[in-house]
Amino acid sequence: MHLFPLDPNSSALLDGHPLPDVCSRCGQCCFEKEYGPDGTVAYSDTPCEYLDPETLLCTVYDDRHACKQGCRSLTLEVLAEGWLPAECTYYTYFSPGPPDLRGCFS
């Protein structure tokens, strides 16, 4: 399984602490993907049917889990699994080391 290192000093690692909204609205999280036999995540070029191609936002966000099988909520565990690509701002925000974007979002 592809794992990335979480910053152990991140305040978001505290139980019940919500993740900060650092989303760049790129829509990459809404592209179809699946786990490979070795645990890596394979990304496709196929967007979810509910992704608006102009706004790159989910058109059924509040009901996404009921509408789309396999839609996942963003958690640190999901990030650690490699479910989002390394270009994702959440991935960058929680990865230790450069580039450090933490001061850009407050």
Q: Is residue 105 part of a domain?
A: no
pLDDT digits (tens, 9 = 90+) for 26-52: 898 899 988 888 878 888 899 999 999
Distance between CA 41 and CA 96 in Å, rounded?
21
Q: Is the pTM of this model over 0.75?
A: no
Instruction: Quote the distance between the C-alpha of residue 42 and its chain's center.
Output: 14
Q: How far apart are CA 27 and CA 45, in angstroms?
A: 11
Number of domains in the chain: 1
In a domain, 77, yes or no: yes
**Residue 103 lies inside a defined structural domain of this protein:** no
- For 82, the domain range is 23-97
| 38 lies in some domain | yes
Assess if residue 74 is contained within a domain: yes
Quick one: 55 exposed, middle or buried, by C-beta within 10 A (0-12, 13-18, 19+)? exposed
Residue 52 lies in a domain: yes
Tokens of 44: 């496709």
Model confidence over 62-103: pLDDT tens digits? 999 999 998 988 888 888 788 888 888 888 887 765 554 555
What is the model's pLDDT at position 3? 42
Quick check: is 3 in a domain?
A: no
In a domain, 13, yes or no: no
